[in-house]
């Protein structure tokens, strides 16, 4: 695997001083009809573990999923991670901080949403604890109905919450945190501090992260099409996985192998 692949041409040159931040769904992984149906290719897990080892642990997953869900997908390594768009965050030492503002309101709203969406085949309400996501990937014709119901709920919850219009999903979450805030918190801590931040994402929720990365003069990379403030583009998750495999190979050069020999 090399960075000379046509899919990777025009992307930034690799560097050993990166702090790497990665969205998951639609970035590392191909979408599935339901979030629990995604597949993690074994080669991706291996490449992430190599990058984590060779990059001194400066790799974090930044996702809308629970941190516990990220562990299920990418274990046994427990990567630094921001879950639920930064509302929960585990640092490199394994310490987890959770912002639970509005959790009770979200819980009650999730129940009401499920009642309203019942009977809409292909619509799935996911209660994540601190956020609610309404997926309509299996029923794209119901987008306007889903949008109407979630906007009505947002009005009831008040200004402390926001609605994210994502990739075949509407998500309601507290305004207090976003992926940009999460990345900025990581960048003040070891092993990320002093490194060049790199963030790869694909969706509306990643734009806060791209904006922060741009302010830090880092590398922001958008997966797929659509308007974005990201400064680079990559076609799809398959290309991201190819890019990460080449980065893992780059980092491995000059490092001792398992047998003690130096990788050329």
CATH number, residue 88: 3.40.50.1000
CATH number, residue 152: 3.30.70
260 located within any domain: no
Question: Would you tell me how many other CB atoms lie within 10 Å of the CB of residue 134?
Answer: 25
263 located within any domain: no
In this structure, are 92 and 181 located in the same domain?
Answer: yes
Last residue within a domain, chosen from 174, 191, 214:
174
In this structure, are 124 and 144 located in the same domain?
Answer: yes
258 located within any domain: no
Question: Known catalytic residue: 249?
Answer: no
> Which residue range(s) make up the domain with 227?
6-99+177-252
In this structure, are 95 and 212 located in the same domain?
Answer: yes
Domain total in the chain: 2
> What pLDDT sits at residue 57?
98
Mean pLDDT in consecutive groups of 10 residues from the start of the chain, 264 residues? 68 95 98 91 98 97 94 96 93 89 61 80 84 89 92 82 88 85 97 98 95 98 96 96 96 64 42
Q: pTM to 2 decimals?
A: 0.83
49 located within any domain: yes
> What pLDDT sits at residue 21?
98
In this structure, are 81 and 196 located in the same domain?
Answer: yes
In this structure, are 246 and 232 located in the same domain?
Answer: yes
In this structure, are 189 and 68 located in the same domain?
Answer: yes
In this structure, are 88 and 188 located in the same domain?
Answer: yes
* CB contact at 8 A, 8 and 240: no
Last residue within a domain, chosen from 174, 203, 235:
174
In this structure, are 35 and 85 located in the same domain?
Answer: yes
262 located within any domain: no
In this structure, are 30 and 88 located in the same domain?
Answer: yes
pLDDT digits (tens, 9 = 90+) for 197-240: 999 999 999 999 999 999 999 999 999 999 999 999 999 999 99
Taking alpha carbons only, the member of 77, 81, 78, 45 closest to residue 65 is: 81
Last residue within a domain, chosen from 152, 174, 196:
174
52 located within any domain: yes
> What pLDDT sits at residue 33?
87
Question: Would you tell me how many other CB atoms lie within 10 Å of the CB of residue 47?
Answer: 22
Classify 61 as helix, strand or coil. Answer: strand
Rounded to an integer, what distance in angstroms lies between the CA atom of residue 53 and that of residue 225?
A: 32
> What pLDDT sits at residue 246?
96
User: DSSP characters for 127-147?
Assistant: E-SS-EEEE-TT-GGGHHHHH
Catalytic residue among 4, 15, 23, 25: 23
Rounded to an integer, what distance in angstroms lies between the CA atom of residue 123 and that of residue 39?
A: 21
In this structure, are 158 and 222 located in the same domain?
Answer: no
In this structure, are 188 and 89 located in the same domain?
Answer: yes
> What pLDDT sits at residue 47?
98
Question: Would you tell me how many other CB atoms lie within 10 Å of the CB of residue 220?
Answer: 24
In this structure, are 163 and 212 located in the same domain?
Answer: no
């Amino acid at each position: 695997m090399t960075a000379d692949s046509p899919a990777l041409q025009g992307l930034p040159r690799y560097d050993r001083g990166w702090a790497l931040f990665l969205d998951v769904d639609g970035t590392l992984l191909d979408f599935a009809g339901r979030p629990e149906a995604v597949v993690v290719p074994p080669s991706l897990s291996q490449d992430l573990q190599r990058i984590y080892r060779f990059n001194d642990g400066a790799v974090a997953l930044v996702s809308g999923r629970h941190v516990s869900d990220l562990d299920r997908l990418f274990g046994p390594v427990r990567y630094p991670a921001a879950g639920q768009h930064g509302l929960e965050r585990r640092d490199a030492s394994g310490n987890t901080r959770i912002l639970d503002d509005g959790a009770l309101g979200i819980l009650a709203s999730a129940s009401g949403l499920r009642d309203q969406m019942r009977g809409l085949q292909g619509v799935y309400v996911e209660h994540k604890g601190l956020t609610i996501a309404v997926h309509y990937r299996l029923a794209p014709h119901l987008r306007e109905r889903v949008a109407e119901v979630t906007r009505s709920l947002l009005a009831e919850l008040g200004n402390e919450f926001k609605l994210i219009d994502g990739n075949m999903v509407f998500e309601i979450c507290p305004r207090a945190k976003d992926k940009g805030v999460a990345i900025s918190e990581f960048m003040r801590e070891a092993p990320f501090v002093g490194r060049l931040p790199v963030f790869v994402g694909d969706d509306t929720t990643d734009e806060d992260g791209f904006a922060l990365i741009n302010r830090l003069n880092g590398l922001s990379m958008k997966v797929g099409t659509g308007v974005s403030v990201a400064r680079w583009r990559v076609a799809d998750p398959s290309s991201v996985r190819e890019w990460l495999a080449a980065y893992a190979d780059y980092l491995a050069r000059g490092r001792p192998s398992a047998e003690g020999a130096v990788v050329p």
